[in-house]
Every structure is written in C-alpha cells, then in structure tokens.
Structure 1
Amino acid sequence: MNINFLRISRVVALAIGLTAGLAGATDAMAQDTIKIGEINSYRAQPAFLEPYRQGWQMALDEINASGGVLGKKLEVVSRDDNGNPGDSIRAAQELVTREQVLLLFGGFLSNTGLALTDFAKQHQIFFLAAEPLTDKIVWEDGNRYTYRLRPSTYMFVSMLVNEAVKLKKKRWALVYPNYEYGQSAAATFKQQMKLAQPDVEFVAEQAPPLGKVDAGATVQALADAKPDAIFNALFAADLAKFVREGNTRGLFEGREVVSLLTGEPEYLDPLQAEAPINWLVTGYPWYAVSSADNQRFVDAYRKRYGTAPRMGSVVGYTALMSIAAGLRKAGSPATEPMIAAFSGLCLGSPFGPICYRAQDHQSTMGAFVGRTALKDGKGVMTKFVYVDGAAVQPSDAEVRKLRHAD
C-alpha cells in the first residue's frame, strides 16, 4: 500500500477523532453540567474507598457551591468494578457510551488501574488514575491520555529505602501480595537496596495471593529464615492477619520491619492495641500534621462527616480538585485540551502544592515516613517527616528509557 496514502489516512482519521471529541465536549458544555465518570472497587476495598468516596464528594460539593467550573456544575457518575479488571473495562465502556462522560478518574488496585489505562488509550479519553500504585501506569504501559495522582510504587519504596539503608541490616526477608503492586514493590526494594548496600542478602520471600494470606504459614516461613529485618507490602485484611500472627509468634521481636502503607489510618486503626510498634512505615498521621493545608482539610472533613479523614479521603478529594483545576486551565472537558492542561498542572492539596510532571504524567504528591507506636490503646505514627514526591522520582533520562508511550 502506498506510504503517502497511509500517512494521509492517518492524518484524516486523527482530524476526525479530534473533531468528534471537540463536538462531544461542546455538546456536554451546552448542558448544565460537565459529566465525569468515576470507577472503583468499593465493595472489594471498603476500608480505603469509602473515605475516598467521601473525599471526592466533599470536593464536588465545594466546587459546585463556588459556582462550578467554566460556568457549569460538575456531575460525577460512579461505578463499582468489584476489584476486577474486566468489570473495570465494562464500567468504563458503559460510562462513555451510555452516560456520555468525557473524562474518567478512579482506580484502586494496580491491575484494575492498568486496565483503565489501556481503555483510555484505546478510546482516546482522558483518565486520572487516583490510587493505583503500579509504576507501569506512567512508565511501560503509560500513554498520553493517562495521568496519576498518588506516588508510584517506585516512589514509595524509594522513601523507605532511604531510611532502610541506615538500619545496616544484612539479611532481609520480604512479604508481599502476589499481584502487580506487590511484585513491583518487592523487585524495586531489592534493586534499590542492592545499589545502596551491595552486601545485602535476601533470605526469604513470601508472596500470598491478594486477600488470601495464610498468616500462620507465612509468619513461620519468615521466622525459619532468621532474617535481620523484614520488608512488608501487605495491606488491608492481609496486613491485619500478618501482624496478629506475627505478634503471637514473636516474629517482630528484635527485628526491624519496613512496611509500605501501614501508617495509613485505614490499615492501622483496625488493629487498635495490636498495632505494630516501631515499624518504619509510610502513612498519613492526620492528627499530628500541623500545616495549615492539612488542618483546613481535617476541620472541613470532620465537620461534614463527623469523623477523621483517612488517606483515601485525601486521594478522593485531591483527585477531583485536580480535575477541576485541569478543566479551568483547559477551558474545555475535551480530551486534547485536558491532556495539555495536565502537563505541568500545579495545585494545592491537603499535603501542600503538587504538580503533574510532563515527563511521565506522575504527580509530585508525597507521603509521610515515620515510626509506628501505641497511644491510648491504638496505633499512631511518630517521628515522621513529609517526603515530597519530587525528591524520589527518577531523572528525565531514566524516564525516557522506561516510558514507551508518546
């Protein structure tokens, strides 16, 4: 087939696609609202996602009470994907075709997030991945239509490795859920520890299926390896079972534990007096962060819901606030203007200012790193510092090697 004909055909197809997208956006703008699709695993992961839903609902009401965006109210049409990538795609398709939303946000698990990332690429629709942590969303499987809010697995692990090397422990054991997030967390931890501490040894790995940890067998296998320290990436119910069994069998006595996400209230609060002591963790100590941005958010959230915010609350709130900021900058909910608007987009958040990198579409939202402790019969974070996400992201040159899109 003639090469020039192919080139012309592609240009025509792109022009038609852009025209259709802009026409759809114009139709949506002619209505009273801008419809936004949201997809998440509410039934599968309620501990994180109920606060998350409350967060974006609070943001939605604040935005609309102040006049909306571009003279229109925002409307969020939400769907549950049951923690299943196939259901994520079906929900996205239904939102786009039947509900006629012009952009999407959401996602919790890494596998559902990757499914939505691919959907965005295939259907050329803007997607903000709010929570999924897998690096692939902005690197190997990244695309021009997808941006991501929360720190990536690489960023979270980097925050902890910077502290883990100071422990000077040689023999490490690892435990993580056996799916994309856990596998990536373990691989990144080993890689970064080897670079920072060449004599490190990894003496055991346990990778139970997500949501199906056999805590007794897992804890015993780790104990049998006699590690000096443990890296943990379990979360939610798996984490609770692991902590309780580990406490019972004395796994953590005299051992350092470095743990992703454990300091988040969603996972620490349910353990109450059984919460681990002196683990090095990432999390959100909402009760002790004294910044004005956080205090305003906490006060507003408690006034509205009568309870304290969780990490999910921050993610949901900031995700929709990001979309509103992007809409204002873009001047339209159409895909191409939104893509351009998010490139370098900066806004405030409960954690302070964040920006979306043009290089890989990753935001600079950071996390708090500190130690766990018991206070008044429940787990808290102490001795924490906020690590800006920009400080733990790879260089532009590294990103170019990792990112195959664009």
Structure 2
Amino acid sequence: MALLVLSWEVVVALGAEKDIKIGCLFPTTGRAGRYGLDAMEAAKMAAEEINNKGGVLGKKIELLFTDEKPDPTFCVRVAKRYILEDKVNFLMGVVSSAVGLAVTEVSKEHKVIFVGTSHATTKTSVENWHPYYFRIGANTITGMRSGALFAEKKPWKKYYYIGPDYEYGQVQWTDFWPFLKKLRPDVEGVGESWPKLYEPDYTPYITAIMRGNPDVLVSGLWGGDTVAFIKQAEPYGLFNKMDYFHPDVGGNYEVFEALGEKMPKGLIMGTHHHLNWPDTDLNKEYVKKFRDKVGHYPITIGANSYVGVYFITKAIEEAGSVDNVEALVKAMEGIKIRTPLDPPGYTSWMRPLTHDIMQWRAIGVTEPNDKYPPAKYMLGKWIVFPPEKIIPSDKEVMELRTKRK
C-alpha cells in the first residue's frame, strides 16, 4: 500500500493506474475523526477482499481518501479535483450532511456517480435528488420516523429537542415532529435547543432543558458531541428527571466505547449499524474481521463504507462496464445486496425512486454488557422497524420534489 501525505490531504492507493478509482471524502480529525477513520478502514477492507479475488472485470479497486474537514467549500474543490485531475470513476463517502448536499451538486454537474455512505440528510435523495446519487446507509427520515413510531407507544406528552444547528440537526426535527403529531396529536413541544456543531460547553443548554421539565428529551447530536453532552448532563441529574431518546445515531458504538462505566442505564437509542444486532453470521463476521484488522470494534458508518465498495463492484459487474454511466445507474437501481445490517431472511435493495437503500432500523435501551470492550454497556431490548413502515411514500417524495421546483 502506498501512502502519500500532502499539506492538506491524505491519499491512499490500493491499485494501479487505469484501475477503478473511487474518490472518498471522510473526516479524519476533530470530534468526527473516528467516523472517518473507521469508514476508511472498512472501505479498504472491502477493496482488499475484492482485489484479492481478482478485482472486477479484470480491474483492481483503487481508493483515494481526503479529510473532509468538514467544510463544504473545500470538499467541492476536492470532488472537482478527483473528477477532473484524478479521473475517478465514482465519488463515495461524506459524513457531514452539509458537505453531502454540496458534493452531490458536483456529482450532478459532472455526471459522476456519488455513493453516499455516511451523511443522513433526506434532502440528497428527495428534494435534491438526481440520477447520479445513491445512498448506502440510513437517512434521517427512517431514523426519526422509527423514533416517532416508538414514541407513539410511550406515555410521553411533553417533548424537548436538542440538535446541532446545521442541516443534520435541523432535518432530524423536521422529519420527527410533524410525523409524531399525526400519530399523537396530544403531544406538545416545550422547547428546542440548537448548539453549534462541536459545542464545548453544554451547560446553558442543559439548564434550559431542565427548566422546560419535559417528559422526554429527544437528541439529534452525534459522535463526540453525544459523548460530551452525556458527560456534562450526568452531574445535573438530567437522566433521572426525564427520559433520554436518541433515535438516529445515539447508539453508535463510539459513545459506549468512550463512556465505559459512565454510560447511564436506560437511555433509549438507535443507530445505523449495531455490533450486536442483527444476530446474523454476516454481521458477526464483519465485526470480527474489522476488529482483527484494525484492533478495535467498528463504529456505525464503517459498515456503510464496507457495503458501499461492494455495491459499486456489484453494479460494475451487472452493467458489464465501468465507463457507461447510464448503464451503471440502471444496474444500481435494481441491485439487491446482503449486508451486515440485514436481519435473517431479508436482503437490502435499492429504491429506484429515491436511490436510498432499503434497510431495517432498530431501537434499544442501554444495559450492562461487557462483550465489546472497552464498552461496559450496549443496547438491548430491541424494537425493530421494517423499511416500508418508515420511508416516505411515493406521493410524499414527488410532492417534495415538486415544491423544490
């Protein structure tokens, strides 16, 4: 493996010139750095597996990586350089929803397929949809609608929301609250807090939440921000005064790993990929392979990146070409692919209307579990939701696209 370090990027090559190039963007520094590093390792693991079996159509997979910062303007420049100078065949990755929305416009302009593996905003596949964007991984609407269906059965009446003040945090609340109000017209919102991404001090937000006296706090934080908030809220007794509900990515392994014994019991969380659900051989094999290779357990987006490389490979095989973009789009729209996220008897598939992969979502409760060290808690007592219960209908999708026009 050749490693080239430039002043502003890291590029990792796993193939030779004229092989299939995938230009990846993941954060590798700051609070989001663990997301990007695990995504990179999982993508490399998939590429190595494919290349060791002879590649695809006689070609090897080559991965290029750049730190997304996250900065939309910077990432637009990188995406254009990938396409115009590095001559990549595909774009892949991106954790920040704001960056995802920016990079998808580059994909559209240059008609280069962008396989989004990590950002969750629904807009990339609904309002801002175009034929060259595909999502491998969950979006906010499936995460928050599964949350609303879970909340419908709870006695909670008064809701408070905290989420980062940018696209991802905002769209979570938009996807959750109107849907819940249709299910439960009796619920009421008693407050909202909008800290900046990577906020260092949550004290004023914690005190505002406690003054609101909700039955439940719904959180849209993620990664290191979730860890920081829980650490800072625990001394105030916040988790004894209200339920904590974090349906989209609260249950990321990174949180359990960082908090260890300090993770409060009884928090209700979901995420995109769980180490201990589904209980299938495919999921167990993926988790073990990653840990054996990297030395720690993977966080949620690693599985998406791993599947993303296999998804691209499968499309190339079915299209019989890496250069015929329209044939690749058609192949991707019809793909069915078994993933570590699939429960027994289910196979993920690509929805042609939105180019979103159709997968189940699971919500659990934090409970003692030391099977995945250094974590001391994991999720259990699962409630699961099939995709047909949590995706927007065809009518909803078309209405949103019409409004944008």
What's the TM-score once normalised by structure 2's chain length? 0.89
Which range is displaced more, 377-386 or 256-265?
Answer: 377-386
**Once superposed, what is the RMSD of the aligned Cα atoms?**
1.9
**Residue 176 of structure 1 contacts residue 206 of structure 1 at CA under 8 Å; is this kept in 2?**
yes
State the 1:214 CA deviation. 2.8
Q: Which one of the candidate residues 96, 111, 125 is aligned to 2:83?
A: 96
Partner Cα separation in structure 2 for residue 120 and residue 279 of structure 1: 39
1:198-209 alignment, distance < 5 Å: 198-209=185-196
User: Which one-letter code corresponds to 1:36 in the other structure?
Assistant: I
Higher-Rg member (1/2): 1
Determine the structure 1 residue equivalent to 2:322. 333
Distance 1:192 1:213, change over 3 A: farther
In the alignment of these two chains, the number of paired residues is 377
Determine the structure 1 residue equivalent to 2:394. 396
State the 1:32 CA deviation. 4.9
Determine the structure 2 residue equivalent to 1:267. 255
**Residue 253 of structure 2 contacts residue 300 of structure 2 at CA under 8 Å; is this kept in 1?**
yes
Q: What secondary structure, in the 3-state scheme, does the structure 2 residue paired with 1:50 have?
A: helix
Q: Which one of the candidate residues 359, 362, 368 is aligned to 2:356?
A: 362
- Cα deviation 1:283-327 (Å, max 9, x = unaligned): 344146421111221232233223322212211101111111111
Q: Which one of the candidate residues 88, 94, 99 is aligned to 1:112?
A: 99
State the 1:238 CA deviation. 1.8
Q: Which structure is higher in helix share?
A: 1
Q: Does residue 1:345 correspond to 2:335, yes or no? A: yes
User: Which one-letter code corresponds to 1:121 in the other structure?
Assistant: K
Q: Which one of the candidate residues 187, 191, 194 is aligned to 2:178?
A: 191
Which range is displaced more, 381-390 or 41-50?
Answer: 381-390
* Structure 1, unpaired ranges of 5+: 1-29
Partner Cα separation in structure 1 for residue 35 and residue 240 of structure 2: 29
**Residue 125 of structure 2 contacts residue 355 of structure 2 at CA under 8 Å; is this kept in 1?**
yes
User: Which one-letter code corresponds to 2:367 in the other structure?
Assistant: A
Partner Cα separation in structure 2 for residue 133 and residue 389 of structure 1: 15
> Taking CA–CA contacts closer than 8 Å with sequence separation of 6 or more, which of the two structures ends up with the larger relative contact order?
1
Determine the structure 1 residue equivalent to 2:39. 52
Q: What secondary structure, in the 3-state scheme, does the structure 1 residue paired with 2:21 have?
A: strand
Partner Cα separation in structure 2 for residue 239 and residue 308 of structure 1: 18
Partner Cα separation in structure 1 for residue 381 and residue 179 of structure 2: 24
Distance 1:350 1:85, change over 3 A: same
Q: Does residue 1:64 correspond to 2:58, yes or no? A: no
Determine the structure 1 residue equivalent to 2:380. 382
User: Which one-letter code corresponds to 2:231 in the other structure?
Assistant: R
Q: Which one of the candidate residues 249, 267, 274 is aligned to 1:279?
A: 267
1:7-406 alignment, distance < 5 Å: 32-44=18-30, 45-259=32-246, 260-283=248-271, 284-287=273-276, 289-334=278-323, 335-352=325-342, 353-376=347-370, 378-404=376-402
Which range is displaced more, 231-240 or 31-40?
Answer: 31-40
What's the TM-score once normalised by structure 1's chain length? 0.88
* Structure 2, unpaired ranges of 5+: 1-15
State the 1:31 CA deviation. 6.1
Identity of aligned residues (%): 27
**Residue 303 of structure 2 contacts residue 340 of structure 2 at CA under 8 Å; is this kept in 1?**
yes
State the 1:380 CA deviation. 0.8
- Cα deviation 1:350-406 (Å, max 9, x = unaligned): 123211110111111333211112335722111124434343112122222223599
State the 1:120 CA deviation. 0.7
State the 1:280 CA deviation. 1.5
Determine the structure 2 residue equivalent to 1:13. none
**Residue 262 of structure 1 contacts residue 268 of structure 1 at CA under 8 Å; is this kept in 2?**
no
Distance 1:56 1:388, change over 3 A: farther
Distance 1:390 1:304, change over 3 A: farther
Q: What secondary structure, in the 3-state scheme, does the structure 2 residue paired with 1:355 have?
A: strand
Partner Cα separation in structure 2 for residue 120 and residue 164 of structure 1: 37
State the 1:129 CA deviation. 0.9
Partner Cα separation in structure 2 for residue 271 and residue 196 of structure 1: 34
User: Which one-letter code corresponds to 1:108 in the other structure?
Assistant: V
Partner Cα separation in structure 1 for residue 90 and residue 141 of structure 2: 27
**Residue 47 of structure 2 contacts residue 61 of structure 2 at CA under 8 Å; is this kept in 1?**
yes
Q: What secondary structure, in the 3-state scheme, does the structure 1 residue paired with 2:362 have?
A: strand
**Residue 27 of structure 2 contacts residue 35 of structure 2 at CA under 8 Å; is this kept in 1?**
no
State the 1:61 CA deviation. 0.3
